[in-house]
Amino acid sequence: MLRITGGTIYDPANGINGEVRDLYVEDGKFVSSFTGGRTIDATGLVIFPGGVDVHTHVAGGSINFARAMTPEDHRRTQAFIRSQTRRSGLGGMAPTTFATGYLYAGMGFTTVNEAAVPVLSARHTHEEMADIPIVDKSCLVLMANNEIMLDLLEAGEYERAKHIVAWHVWAAKAYGVKAVNPGGVAAWKWGKDANQLSEPVEGYKNTTPGSIVTSLAKIIDELGLPHPIHLHCNNLGAPGNITTTLETMKHLEGHRAHMAHLQYHAYGGDDWDTMKSESAQLAEYFNAHPNMTTDAGAVLFGDTVTITADGPWQHLLYKLTGRKWGNLDVENETGCGIVPYSYRPSNLVNAVQWATGLELLLLIDDPWRVFLSTDHPNGACFWRYPEIVQLLMCADFRKECMAGLPPEIMNRITLPEINREYTLYEIATIMSAGPARALGLQQKGNLGIGKDADMVIYHSDKDIARMFGHPRYVIKRGEIVIEEGDIRETPDGSEYLVKPSFDPGTDEFLRPLFEDRYCMSFENYPVEMERIERPDLQQCITTE
Amino acid sequence: MGGKVTCTLGEVKNRADFIVYWGGNPAECHPRHFTKYTLMQKSPFLPRGRKDRTMVLVDIRETKSAKASNIFLQVRPGKDFELITLLRAMIKDQPISEAQVAETGLTIEQLQDFVSRMKAAKYGVFFFGMGLSMTRGKHMNSAALLTLAAEMNAFTKFVAMPMRGHGNVTGADVIMRWQTGYPFGISFNRGYPRYNPGEFSTVDVLVRGDTDCAFIIGADPGATMPQPAIDHLAKVPTIVLDPHVTHTSKLARVHITTAPAGISAPGTAYRMDEIPLPLRPALKSPYPSDEEVVRRIKEALLEKPDWMGERPQMLQNQI
């Protein structure tokens, strides 16, 4: 039992904006009151619900590929030293699993969503997630380039495709569906891409990226997955891709959708020399369409490693940078590409990207629909979120940073004209309550009675980055896990799954198709339930 | 240079119409490779199977794998790096000299034919074995071939994959990477992982005599390592976990017989393309699994006082 008294509470899920209240925790949940138990005096301190990351890459084949490719970064980064009860680890661009848990918890995040998992290596992803301590986890299965599903859509067999999607969600023991560059990753298997939403995908006659997007969004709504289609649009990172992004959004009308890392999809111009931010245009459309949520995919200057299922984009980035290139094509399902990258303020393209991420966060008016993310590790590492919070809360600090950018950037961005400053209440929304709601995790991002007692207690500090980077306490399900920068406990988190319903005949339908395309036994393909450590099965929902 | 452009084996089965084995002898060392993945399989993209595929073998001698290949390129021993470098120049139409070609033991016609076939392929793949990665040039050879594969993507789809073996070596590599950031050659003696092959690799630690205990699981260094390393294993308390009594068991202080993984112990094995496969035991064993033994040793160690003493939780900068 734990009582936290006198803290100033920001709990957007319950409309509580900076009120002094006491919180009571029993058996890992908030309760209305009790007597006795330990008390933390939080007078003068600020209390948020634990952070929720809606889009990150922390476990599985692709981040592990990135770890292999960046030993030079492991050597220069921070090291966590083992104790008798705590495992060692390394931070940096692609942190090790144990360090991932420590670093997330260390800045007050208690739930993370791994955004990209192929079924074929989902067993690996779950093994890694079991080694990420403290935080609760979920993951999304990659579907938009699954050729068995694409063939069904091509043949007009929508209902069958729906069963196939549901079957794959359960086979991967996933929580939702991710779509990456629909059709483009499949085309990359032949060294091609899919740039036009209305042009057939390489190898198909009728199926276009646009039709894949609409079908998948509809399937996911009809299956009632708590989290909508999680979409990485076509043409990521390319100058002028605003057209594709807006067109994609039109394909989603009438459906729920989460647009991943929108910053990478908000560019105007014709080439790298003329590239500019189109965040104002994008935000205007987005503001008028409440069916969508998004995460920023913000960029911070510095070194990182980019990881995406978007294989063709990574080939382009390798050609642009001449740096290391990792690529992995996964049979029938997807692929992934890895390229280390340094975002530099002196580079005009990078400077535009930096501004675009912040502009989207500032120009989208509803904090319940835009969330804090860097698409870790693509735009920056997740442990740099406090720097973004500072940029959002302090217009003067933004101006200071902008002074260091090349002067020719000013007609390419709108950031200098934006004076909005986020409030603590809005930060709590984009960092916790909003992403929890978008994920459909009702126990999270909420300090209400009966909810999971995940919270973070900050010193009130004028130095915003320091405030959010160094919480006084982090509490996970009622247990103090971080206290003044020290790791106290490393409990194991749960894993959220859903089991959408599908025709029991799907196995027998899939088996021959599987045996044609894959090279393992069909029985070995789905991840067995007993391999998930601490599973927490969530219910599907009814959507309109 | 750096990185790796690769795919899962099913992609090879489905798409690869141009397959190069370099410095390996799959016919004898990976006998199921041809039939399961590379040559014999048919797919919607390669409906005639073997007839739709071209196989090239690059090796220093004509092994049994040469019989399976369409083209055999006999490279002069120790000249793999030079050959790869010439190919990298030729795909980009950079000038090369006759003398350079002659050094590789091949003719300019052979090289030109190879380059035009690589470029004409729809999906090309290099599989490379220890004949490339462990001969003169070692990791530089592997890096050169991986770079050639990466650069071929300017013309067509091309990937590369090492031919790994020895049970679940890939699984060890994968798990070490997610737990420590590094695949092998890791020292924990400062309480956090550090990596330096040549210093912290098992053989180097043993030869220097830097360890006062050895714990060997599912490997037989007593049969394969250089004599000074074996001598050191015999000198210190060595504990072996293995289903069989190995050469290492015979020089060890303790041998614990464990259930063989995949036959009577469950688990996961990672294939050479890093795809995890579940192991389902077919038989029961009177012996405990490796995992159970390690867990019980760990529990017993926790009873002991913490020998590391006072230290910080975290170092901002490694020393």
Instruction: Output the DSSP codes for B254-267.
Output: EEEE-PPBTTTB-E
pLDDT of residue B165: 77
- Alpha carbon distance A509, A439 (integer Å): 31
The answer for A 440-459 residues in CB contact with B (under 8 A) is none
CA distances A261 to A140, A236, A366, B140, Å, are 15, 9, 17, 38
Q: B259-304, pLDDT tens digit by residue?
A: 999 999 999 999 999 999 999 999 999 999 999 999 999 999 989 8
The pLDDT of residue A544 is: 60
A4: in domain? no
Domain ranges of chain B: 9-162, 169-302
In the CATH scheme, what is the code of domain B169-302? 3.40.50.740
Q: Note the ipTM here.
A: 0.94
For residues B12-17, average pLDDT: 96
Q: pLDDT 10s per residue in chain A (544 long)?
A: 999 999 999 999 999 999 999 999 999 999 999 988 899 999 999 999 999 999 999 999 999 999 999 999 999 999 999 998 899 999 999 999 999 999 999 999 999 999 999 999 999 999 999 999 999 999 999 999 999 999 999 999 999 999 999 999 999 999 999 999 999 988 888 888 888 899 999 999 999 999 999 999 999 999 999 999 999 999 999 999 999 999 999 999 999 999 999 999 999 999 999 999 999 999 999 999 999 999 999 999 999 999 988 888 899 999 999 899 999 999 888 889 999 999 999 999 999 999 999 999 999 999 999 999 999 999 999 999 999 999 999 999 999 999 999 999 999 999 999 999 999 999 999 999 999 999 999 999 999 999 999 999 999 999 999 999 999 999 999 999 999 999 999 999 999 999 999 999 999 999 999 998 899 999 999 999 999 999 999 999 987 6
What sign has the CA pseudo-torsion A74, A77, A83, A87?
A: negative
User: What is the number of helices (H) and of strands (E) in chain B?
Assistant: 15, 14
Q: Are the beta carbons of A67 and A99 closer than 8 angstroms?
A: no
Give the pairing type, strands B123-128 and B18-22: parallel
Mutate to test the interface with B, among A202, A520, A528 (most CBs of B within 10 A): A520
Chain B, nearest residue to A82 by Cα: B191
B159 phi/psi in degrees, rounded to 5: -135, 170
What is the structure's pLDDT at A332?
86
Say if the Cβ atoms of A519 and B178 lie within 8 Å.
Answer: no
Residue-range definition of the domain harbouring residue A173: 47-496
Q: Which of A67, A68, A82 sits opposite B192 (nearest CB)?
A: A82
Residue A523 included in any domain = no
- Chain-chain contact of B192 with A328 (C-beta, under 8 angstroms): no
**B316 has a chain A CB within 8 A of its CB:** yes
Q: Does B187 lie at the interface with A, CB-CB under 8 angstroms? A: no
Confirm or reject contact between B277 and chain A (CB < 8 A): yes
The reply to whether B9-162 and B169-302 are identical in fold is no
Residues 79-138 of B with CB under 8 A from A: 122-123
B309: closest chain A residue by CA: A83
The chain-wide mean pLDDT, for chain B, equals 95
CA distance A225 to A257: 11
- Inter-chain CB proximity A94 and B181 less than 8 Å: yes
pLDDT at B1 over 70: no
CB atoms within 10 A of CB A240: 16
Distance CA A186, CA A517 (A): 14
In angstroms, the separation between the Cα of residue A198 and the nearest Cα of chain B is: 25
Task: Name the residue in chain A with its Cα closest to that of B151.
Answer: A319
Measure CB to CB from residue A97 to each of B179, B191, B317 and give the nearest one: B179
Determine, for residues A80 and B314 on separate chains, whether the beta-carbon distance falls below 8 Å: yes
The pLDDT of B58-87, averaged and rounded, is 97
The CATH number given to whatever domain includes residue A142 is: 3.20.20
Asked if the Cβ–Cβ distance from A124 to B276 is below 8 Å, we say: yes
Nearest chain A CA: its distance from B79 CA (Å)? 25
Question: What's the confidence (pLDDT) of residue A543?
Answer: 74
Find the helix or strand (DSSP H, E) in which A126 lies.
Answer: helix A122-130
Quote the percentage of chain B above a pLDDT of 70: 100
Length of chain A: 544
Distance CA A99, CA A88 (A): 7
CB contact under 8 A, B179 and A487: no
* A318 reaches B (C-beta below 8 A): yes
A417 DSSP 8-state letter: G
Q: How many domains does chain A have?
A: 1
B203 closest CA partner among B222, B183, B217: B222
Binding-face residues of A in 114-153 toward B, CB within 8 A: 120-121, 123-124, 127-128, 131
Nearest chain A Cα distance for residue B151, angstroms: 9
Domain boundaries B9-162, corresponding CATH code = 3.40.228.10
| Of the partner residues A88, A127, A189, the one whose CB lies closest to the CB of residue B11 | A189
Closest alpha carbon to A171 in A515, A440, A508, A499: A499
Q: Are A254 and A289 a contacting pair, CB within 8 Å?
A: no
Question: Cβ contact (<8 Å) for B10 and A519?
Answer: yes
In a domain, A480, yes or no: yes
- Alpha carbons A112 and A124: distance in angstroms, whole number: 17
| Cβ contact B192–A98 (<8 Å) | no
A473 located within any domain: yes
pLDDT(B87) > 80: yes
Does residue A262 sit within a domain? Answer: yes
| Chain A touched by B154 (CB under 8 Å) | yes
Confirm whether A337 is domain-assigned.
yes
**pLDDT tens track for A96-149:** 999 999 999 999 999 999 999 999 999 999 999 999 999 999 999 999 999 999
pLDDT confidence bin for B307, thresholds 50/70/90: confident
Q: Which CA distances in Å does A322 have to A71, A173, B158?
A: 18, 37, 17
